[in-house]
Amino acid sequence: MFRILVSDPISEQGLAALYAAENMQIDIKMGLKEEELCAVIGEYDALLVRSQTKVTAKVLESAKRLRVIGRAGVGVDNIDVETATRCGIVVINAPDGNTISTAEHTFAMMMAMARKIPQADASLRRGEWDRKSFVGVELNNKILGILGLGRIGTEVAKRAMAFGMRVLAYDPFLTESRAESLGVRKATVDEIVTQADFITVHTPLTKETKHLLSEREFEMMKQGVRILNCARGGIIKESALIEALKSGKVAGAALDVYEEEPLAAEHPLRDFQNVVLTPHLGASTKEAQINVAIDVADEVAKFLRNEPFKNAVNLPSLPAERMQQVQPFLTLGEKLGKLAAQLLKGNVSKLQITYGGEVATYEVGPITRTILKGFLAYHHGDEVNYVNAPFIAEQNGIIVNETKTSKAKVFTNMITLEVESNGETKTVTGTLYNGFGPRIVQINGYTVDAAPEGQMLITLHEDIPGIIGRIGTILGNDGVNIATMQVGRREAGGTALMVMGVDARVSGQALNEIARMEPIHSVYLVEL
């Protein structure tokens, strides 16, 4: 039974699939303070939040059973993603469900600000009939500067163009051809701040975007510029905006998000007549809330059931068809990692992974992760998973290199893992035979053909008559049945490598007996 904690208001309709699932138990506990969340989180496999719950390092350190955090929305700045990654907890968001609602809210805010609608409405409610104080400006022919042309920024741009605005956009990933196809002009931040009549931000809040619009940028802006923020508080430096509002440089602002939420009752932004404020309502529509809840519930359920999911924030995300290409190689990768780990002793300094043949044309990041997981879990146990494996490798000073080549010897696909430890290198190579699954095809340069499964006895020995029979006798006396056997050698009479699949665990005594045989150079008991 998976236990799921919902700690923020998330649409019940969206969670219906989780309620219906037999093996999921959902508890709703809202408004928990950090200490209260720490006290209960240890009982849960999954946590579902919106933006109110702060998933801090302290919460995560108490979350011994937690495997996944689902964020019903886009921004994950209320979650300590770095610590979650370190703890091996997947963070999943629902990036698509509230795009339109937030773009529409931004547009509603822009129009409300341009035509002073909230102020006129408040005046009428006070019993006045004042037509002079509420003269607005048109959007038509104005320049809108958009910082961040992702999902929401793009939808805002489309709406702005329908209103006759000219759009300048800056996004580090905006290409000329995409700008052209959207009908916007690609610009720098400085061009936008100096030329725009309206400026709206649609980036996440990151180290780079924090105070993207600060004193310097306000200084450069046109007199009478209007500013919008329906993304995250802190992208625009509030104190600089307040100064620019006071000086009259900024003629109006429309804000949905703040550096500190909820906005303090005495906050100076509440005093400006030309500022329109909403309490983080961008995603607050019936449609968006159902959409994000459905999306996140579906993804979290898939994750818990070990089914493919797509919106992980702390994992490389691949489109479904590209994930399908690499999926069959994930088991092979993990087995190669596990095998290499058991062939080595001592501190590992470098893992070199070479993808050859068709697999080299795929996005191999997920395979590399499973190789690392298989390799590191042998030494670090269950604490290593697909999420934190690269982090744990880095923490242990292991250099991980990926290379790709079109060559794969006689195979269609080939993955080679080369591990360096104390000046010694071990190499294992695997392939995926159509219909036969993963195979180990080379160990330290010796060609074999072994299914990486169960217990395996691997020996490096002198290629002389009688060796294999003697090993067979020792195993027979130990009550161990031999299931499969493969021998690879470079030349007759040199050294040979034998891989034996065995049906039961070989005892320490039998293993020592084999190791003591004169022609045996090394023996490994491997479990895959």
Ligand X SMILES: O=C(O)CC[C@@H](O)C(=O)O
Q: In angstroms, what is the minimal distance from the CB of 206 to ligand NAD? A: 6
User: Which range in 73-81, 115-123, 267-275, 333-341 contacts ligand X by CB under 6 A?
Assistant: 73-81
Residue 379 known to be catalytic: no
Task: Give the whole-angstrom CA distance, residue 231 versus residue 214.
Answer: 16
Q: Are 179 and 234 in contact (CB under 8 A)?
A: no
Q: Are 63 and 41 in contact (CB under 8 A)?
A: yes
Looking at the DSSP assignment, which residues form a beta bridge with residue 46? Answer: 4, 68
For ligand NAD, which is the closer residue by CB, 2 or 309?
Answer: 309
What is the chain's alpha carbon radius of gyration, rounded to the nearest angstrom?
30
Name residue 444's amino acid.
N
151's contact among ligand X, ligand NAD, none, with CB below 5 to 8 A by partner kind, is ligand NAD
Tell whether residue 73 is a contact of ligand X (CB under 6 A).
yes
Q: In angstroms, what is the minimal distance from the CB of 499 to ligand NAD? A: 48
Active-site pick, 67, 202, 226, 232: 232
Q: In angstroms, what is the minimal distance from the CB of 138 to ligand NAD? A: 25
Tell whether residue 148 is a contact of ligand NAD (CB under 6 A).
yes
If one counts every other C-beta atom within 10 angstroms of the C-beta of residue 166, the result is 18
Residue from 47, 68, 152, 313 binding ligand NAD (CB under 6 A): 152
Alpha helices (H) along 115-251: 117-125, 151-162, 176-182, 189-195, 215-220, 238-247
Q: Report the number of secondary-structure helices (H) and strands (E) in the chain.
A: 17, 22
Residue from 74, 228, 296, 506 binding ligand NAD (CB under 6 A): 74
The DSSP code sequence of 397-444 is T-EEEEEEES--TTSSEEEEEEEEETTEEEEEEEEEETTTEEEEEEET
If one counts every other C-beta atom within 10 angstroms of the C-beta of residue 353, the result is 22
208's contact among ligand X, ligand NAD, none, with CB below 5 to 8 A by partner kind, is ligand NAD
For ligand X, which is the closer residue by CB, 51 or 429?
Answer: 51
Given phi > 0 = left and psi -120 to 50 = alpha, else beta, which region is 435? left
419's contact among ligand NAD, ligand X, none, with CB below 5 to 8 A by partner kind, is none
Q: Are 480 and 504 in contact (CB under 8 A)?
A: yes
For ligand NAD, which is the closer residue by CB, 104 or 334?
Answer: 104
The b/e string for 113-152 (b: 16+ C-beta within 10 A; e otherwise) is bbbbebbbeebeeeeeeeeeeeeebebeebbbbbbbbbbb
Q: If DSSP codes are grouped into helix, strand and coil, which group holds residue 350?
A: strand
Q: In angstroms, what is the minimal distance from the CB of 102 to ligand X? A: 7
Nearest CA among 333, 335, 379, 374 for reference residue 353: 333
Tell whether residue 50 is a contact of ligand X (CB under 6 A).
yes
Tell whether residue 172 is a contact of ligand NAD (CB under 6 A).
yes
For ligand NAD, which is the closer residue by CB, 63 or 143?
Answer: 143
How far is CA 246 from each of CA 119, 229, 253, 300, 515, rounded to the nearest angstrom?
18, 18, 12, 47, 84
Residue 261 known to be catalytic: yes
For ligand NAD, which is the closer residue by CB, 151 or 158?
Answer: 151
Q: If DSSP codes are grouped into helix, strand and coil, which group holds residue 294?
A: helix
Task: Give the whole-angstrom CA distance, residue 525 versus residue 34.
Answer: 47
231's contact among ligand NAD, ligand X, none, with CB below 5 to 8 A by partner kind, is ligand NAD
Residue from 70, 75, 145, 430 binding ligand NAD (CB under 6 A): 75
* Total length of the chain: 528
Q: In angstroms, what is the minimal distance from the CB of 73 to ligand X? A: 3
Residue 321 known to be catalytic: no
- The residues, any chain, with a CB within 8 Å of residue 202's CB and separated by 6 or more, are 106, 146, 147, 148, 149, 150, 152, 153, 156, 230, 231
256's contact among ligand NAD, ligand X, none, with CB below 5 to 8 A by partner kind, is ligand NAD
Restricted to residues 403-422, the positions that interact with ligand X (CB under 6 A) are none
Tell whether residue 145 is a contact of ligand NAD (CB under 6 A).
no
Task: Give the whole-angstrom CA distance, residue 429 versus residue 335.
Answer: 10
Tell whether residue 233 is a contact of ligand NAD (CB under 6 A).
no
DSSP designation for 61: H
Residue from 75, 153, 234, 430 binding ligand X (CB under 6 A): 75
Site string for ligand NAD, 265-304 (x = CB under 6 A): ---------------x-xx---------------------
For ligand X, which is the closer residue by CB, 312 or 485?
Answer: 312
Q: In angstroms, what is the minimal distance from the CB of 15 to ligand NAD? A: 19
Residue from 7, 11, 51, 442 binding ligand X (CB under 6 A): 51
The DSSP code sequence of 1-42 is -EEEEE-S---TTTTHHHHH-TTEEEEE--S--HHHHHHHHT
Residue from 2, 44, 107, 170 binding ligand NAD (CB under 6 A): 170
255's contact among ligand X, ligand NAD, none, with CB below 5 to 8 A by partner kind, is none
Restricted to residues 54-73, the positions that interact with ligand NAD (CB under 6 A) are 73
Residue from 15, 74, 168, 221 binding ligand X (CB under 6 A): 74
Residue from 209, 342, 354, 459 binding ligand NAD (CB under 6 A): 209
What does the binding site for ligand X look like in residue numbers (CB under 6 A)?
A: 50-51, 73-75, 98, 280, 282-284
Which residues are identified as catalytic? 232, 261, 280
Positions touching ligand NAD (CB under 6 A) are 73-75, 95, 98-99, 102, 147-153, 170-173, 202-204, 208-209, 230-232, 256-257, 280, 282-283
